[in-house]
Structure 1
Amino acid sequence: MNWDNMPLLVILVLAVIGNNHSVSLAVSALLIIKLMGLTTWFPSIENYGLNIGITILTMAVLTPLAQGRISIGEMLDAFKTQSGLIAIIVGMIVSWVATQGMYFLKASPEATTALIVGTIGGVCFLHGLAIGPLIASGVVAMILNLLNLFKQ
């Protein structure tokens, strides 16, 4: 095994220590793909993985609707409570922040490494979720935009 695999191995060890099965599985899959010589898959995973992951995540969130465990009436009731209204507003804001993060990652690939390190740290040691880079990059973009406003 060459040293190119070391970052993934370190992340794998951290994920195992942090008992994070999602990261362990993701890193193991990437290592297996790499060791099997299927590196031509990497561009497709990089280009489409986020959309596929978001689609699967959305399916998981919508499954109670599909199963009939949440009715239209219950959805409408969300507009009648303080926590429901706050959840709707925060959901919209976070969705927008994530979109800004996607644009930021495309425009500033140098920030990707730092976001990955931060996300892996959060996942492994704070038991966070690996969806952090998108939200984190959106927050970074917002902070940088604010800092730019103050520079002017």
Structure 2
Amino acid sequence: MMTGELILVGLIVIGLIGRSPIIATAACVLLAVKLLHLSRFLPSIERRGLELGLLFLTLSVLVPFASGKVQMKELIAAFNTWPGWLALIGGAVAAYMNAKGLDLLKLDPQMVVGLVIGSIFGIIFLRGIPVGPLMAAGITAILYKLFKLMSGG
């Protein structure tokens, strides 16, 4: 077995132990792609995978609007209460951080390794939940800028 496959098997095991089915499933899919000699699709998955993931995430978030679970009064209430305003601000800050994370991942795709290992660490030892590499990259981008600022670089 080659190094790539061994790493994927390791990620499957870590994902299972760390209660992260998304990591385990993603590693399984990629391992299947490799073992079925479909590696020609890996560049497309790499290039478009994040966009597809964001599309499905956005779809799942918008379902309450499409299904009618969120009515106009709830939408208006978001602008009339402190919790509503805090949620709007939180959403805007999260979107900004995700954009910075995406920029960072584009500059240094190898950073994903650290993000995955850090996420697994957080899941296992801090009882966290996996939110994906984009938010982790956004936080990393902000920490990186703070570190550069504090170190004078």
Q: Give the match for residue 5 of structure 1.
A: 5
Q: Which amino acid aligns with 2:129?
A: G
The alignment status of 1:36 with 2:27, answered yes or no, reads: no
**Counterpart of 1:104?**
104
The DSSP-based 3-state class of the residue aligned with 2:78 is helix
Alignment partner of 1:79: what SS?
coil
Alpha-carbon contact 2:115-2:136 (below 8 Å) kept: yes
Note if contact 2:19-2:123 (Cα within 8 Å) is conserved in structure 1: no
Question: Larger deviation: 48-57 or 116-125?
Answer: 116-125
Q: How many residues align?
A: 151
CA distance in structure 2 between the partners assigned to 1:4 and 1:111 by the alignment: 16
Deviates more, 1:71-80 or 1:113-122: 113-122
Distance 1:123 1:145, change over 3 A: same
Partner of 1:94: 94
- Matching of residue 71 in structure 1 with residue 71 in structure 2: yes
Mapped to 2, the partners of 1:46 and 1:65 lie a distance apart of: 31
**Inter-partner Cα distance in structure 1 for 2:128 and 2:139:** 20
Give the CA deviation at 1:105. Answer: 1.5
Compute the TM-score of the two structures, normalised by the length of structure 2.
Answer: 0.87
Name the SS for the 2:37 alignment partner.
coil
Cα RMSD after superposing both structures: 1.9
Deviation at 1:69, TM superposition (A): 0.9
Give 1:139's aligned residue: 139
Please say if residues 12 and 23 of structure 1, whose CA atoms lie closer than 8 Å, have aligned partners that are also in contact.
Answer: yes
Structure 1, unmatched stretches of 5+, are none
Q: Equivalent residue of 2:118, what SS?
A: helix
Q: CA deviation at 1:101?
A: 0.9
Q: CA deviation at 1:85?
A: 1.1
Q: CA deviation at 1:62?
A: 0.6
Deviates more, 1:44-53 or 1:121-130: 121-130
1:69-100 CA-partner distances (Å, limit 9, x unpaired): 11121111112222211111011001001101
Report the counterpart of residue 47 of structure 1 in structure 2. 47
1:94-114 CA distance string (max 9 Å, x none): 100110111111123343321
